[in-house]
Structure 1
Amino acid sequence: MERLNGADLYFETSGAVQGGAGGGNPPVVYLHGGPGYNSHSFRALFGERLDALGPAVYLDQRGAGRSGPLEETEQGADTLDLDTLVADVEAVREFLGAERIVPLGHGFGALVALEYARRWPTRTARVIVVNPWVHFPGLALTLLAEASARRGVPLDDPAGAVRARTPEGEYPPVGSARVEQAFSLLNARDLLNVLHFKDAPSRMHLEFADAEGQLSGAGEVQEALVNQGLWEFEYPPFLQDIVRPVFVIAGAHDRSSYPEQVQWLADLAGADVSVLDAGHYPWLDDEDAFAEALEDALRR
């Protein structure tokens, strides 16, 4: 636990991550999803394989996992946004003394990884994202479509009505309206489980790892980001600004990310895409295939 960028940030390291110029492979910095999840389950389930590929850092992002609560940060909960999360990663890199890093972002964490690479290209060797989320109104529509199908009701996208009643000059909260409608049809946990997991054993495997870690989800992180307009956020226009190599590892059974979210990175960032027979957490479904895809992304 270190006080960095005005927050108590918890992270674990493996290997020699302090290298400067000529100091060996740049460390991989794992950025979990959620938002507000943690790095425990990834390290517990796959850390040994990642550690074998070189130095690694497992970060619990601000307000999540074992890091300090948002209300104890200098910035407070009301100012939590992507800029702050990216600045935290840079603070960790600087503290460790690594010349460059490889951000490895999963789900929502892909957004943090990509923006770090865009903002700090000289500090980024390459960026790797797993089942990324980059277009949140689009993700909200995916959630609504699945919830409608599960309930056996026609898809009723509220986007048109929201735009019609939004005063001129204001941004229509289309994503929020879609999500609210989706979660009114099917609760968030059940809906995401349907979209994320290839099968029930994979879901149970992750739940056991979470139970072992005894880390509750950081609802305050989700709430803070939603209050900042998360469901309206469209990152694709920024993808064209990323100059470092981008690699995507996608699970064909993760319908929250593949193919729509992944396609944005292929089209706009020129990303190299590997598709595995897996869900949102590919290390659960095919650890060897995920390790091979990750090693390929790191070595190419």
Structure 2
Amino acid sequence: MYKLTSFLILFITISLSVKAQKSLTVANYVLTNDSIKLYTKKAGNGPIAIFIHGGPGAWSKSFEDLGGSNLESRLTMIYYDQRGCGRSEGSKNDDYSLEKMLEDIEMIRQRYNANKVYLIAHSFGGILAVNYAQKYPDHIKGLIFVNSTLNLFYSIQHQINYMNSLLKTDYKAVDTSQIIPTFKNVQSKFVEEGFIYKLLSDNKNNADLLNKIDSENPSEFAFAQKALYIADYQKDYTKITHQIKVPVLVISGTKDHAIGEDHFKSFNFPNQTIKEINGGHLLYYEKNKKFINTVFEFVRK
């Protein structure tokens, strides 16, 4: 059984052989302004890039261990687990608001003395990244969206449609208030039929590898349990993309059934580069070399 921590299935990547310079690797905790300890880790060489994991409710270890570390040859990576996720503490007053999540990212930027940073966002992390860029544009060097959603309910509805197509069922949400209950119903059937890995990859072994790593996650999944019921995470943030002026790289999988293969077509960043990669939600793993090269080319320019 897969350890599903949220409605949006997560990513995995795989390490490739990379000849990188030796770099200082430091694991540390950043104390937020409401006294929450956020797990962070710094490693690599070059401009600072903060990785924003997905879920909602995942952690950064999967990315770091299975491919994210390949970016360290040209980027100084800051891996962090969001509050209520992974190795970070949960909010003492259950504050998992979008505003508080953005403040956490800003605290991390300040902690590592970076004037401007790249944000590398995966899956649900796209919602945090686009809102941070709108609030703190002067501190963004570039945004990198990888299999990212900017409209959570759109992506959940896409998953419902995909699962219906494989199950030959017709689960429907009559309005947005029914999307989450409908998703739970169809997902339960999808798990029962042994299809759940298909939201991640056509290759079950790839999904099993992710599950093995995520089985080590020590979190109580406080954020995952609350995120989908918080109004700010239910909004369509594709509508603000035209306001974001910084350079943007959008990497999308042609078979990404978790986010929606065509979701990126609703993005309207003025300075965006679109890169479609033949793969699903696990293109980090299945197309890791192409992914790494795409990011490096964006950074180089």
TM-score > 0.5 by shorter chain = yes
Q: Name the counterpart of 1:234.
A: 236
Measured after TM superposition, the shift of residue 134 of structure 1 is 1.0
> Is the partner of 1:240 in helix, strand or coil?
helix
Q: Is the 8 A contact 1:205 1:284 kept in 2?
A: no
Matching residue within 240, 256, 259 for 1:257: 259
Amino acid at match of 2:147: N
Q: Name the counterpart of 2:205.
A: 201
Q: Is the 8 A contact 1:106 1:131 kept in 2?
A: yes
> Is the partner of 1:66 in helix, strand or coil?
coil
The structure-2 alpha-carbon separation of the partners of 1:295 and 1:131, relative to structure 1 and needing over 3 Å to count, comes to same
Measured after TM superposition, the shift of residue 227 of structure 1 is 2.7
Q: Is the 8 A contact 1:65 1:215 kept in 2?
A: yes
The structure-2 alpha-carbon separation of the partners of 1:57 and 1:188, relative to structure 1 and needing over 3 Å to count, comes to farther
Q: Name the counterpart of 2:161.
A: 145
Distance 2:102 2:158 in 1: 27
Q: Name the counterpart of 1:28.
A: 49
Distance 2:273 2:189 in 1: 31
Q: Name the counterpart of 1:56.
A: 77
Measured after TM superposition, the shift of residue 141 of structure 1 is 1.8
Q: Is the 8 A contact 1:141 1:179 kept in 2?
A: no
Distance 1:80 1:49 in 2: 31
Amino acid at match of 2:32: L
Q: TM-score, normalised by structure 1?
A: 0.82
Q: TM-score, normalised by structure 2?
A: 0.82
Q: Name the counterpart of 1:187.
A: 188
Distance 1:68 1:156 in 2: 37
| Worse-matched range after superposition: 186-195 or 279-288 | 186-195
Measured after TM superposition, the shift of residue 297 of structure 1 is 2.0
Amino acid at match of 2:75: G
Measured after TM superposition, the shift of residue 270 of structure 1 is 4.9
Distance 1:55 1:218 in 2: 29
Matching residue within 131, 135, 143 for 1:119: 135
Q: Is the 8 A contact 2:167 2:190 kept in 1?
A: no
Measured after TM superposition, the shift of residue 14 of structure 1 is 1.2
Distance 1:293 1:93 in 2: 24
Measured after TM superposition, the shift of residue 189 of structure 1 is 8.1
Give the number of the structure whose alpha-carbon radius of gyration is greater: 1
Measured after TM superposition, the shift of residue 231 of structure 1 is 6.2
Distance 1:217 1:37 in 2: 9
The structure-2 alpha-carbon separation of the partners of 1:57 and 1:184, relative to structure 1 and needing over 3 Å to count, comes to same
Q: Name the counterpart of 2:14.
A: none
Measured after TM superposition, the shift of residue 290 of structure 1 is 1.1
Amino acid at match of 1:4: T
> Is the partner of 1:58 in helix, strand or coil?
strand
Amino acid at match of 1:179: I
After superposition, where does 1:1-300 map in structure 2 within 5 Å?
1-6=29-34, 7-15=36-44, 25-71=46-92, 76-77=93-94, 79-154=95-170, 156-159=172-175, 174=176, 176-187=177-188, 190=191, 193-211=197-215, 214-216=216-218, 218-229=220-231, 232-265=234-267, 267-300=268-301
| Worse-matched range after superposition: 38-47 or 182-191 | 182-191
Measured after TM superposition, the shift of residue 201 of structure 1 is 2.1
Measured after TM superposition, the shift of residue 193 of structure 1 is 3.2
Measured after TM superposition, the shift of residue 271 of structure 1 is 2.5
The structure-2 alpha-carbon separation of the partners of 1:41 and 1:278, relative to structure 1 and needing over 3 Å to count, comes to same
Which consecutive residues of structure 1, in runs of 5 or more, have no partner in the other structure? 17-24, 160-173
Measured after TM superposition, the shift of residue 218 of structure 1 is 4.7
Identity of aligned residues (%): 20
> Is the partner of 2:101 in helix, strand or coil?
helix
Q: How many residues align?
A: 269
> Is the partner of 2:87 in helix, strand or coil?
coil
The structure-2 alpha-carbon separation of the partners of 1:296 and 1:144, relative to structure 1 and needing over 3 Å to count, comes to same
Measured after TM superposition, the shift of residue 132 of structure 1 is 0.9
The structure-2 alpha-carbon separation of the partners of 1:4 and 1:192, relative to structure 1 and needing over 3 Å to count, comes to farther
Q: Name the counterpart of 1:162.
A: none
| Worse-matched range after superposition: 200-209 or 25-34 | 200-209
- Which one has a larger percent helix, Structure 1 or Structure 2? 1
Amino acid at match of 2:255: H
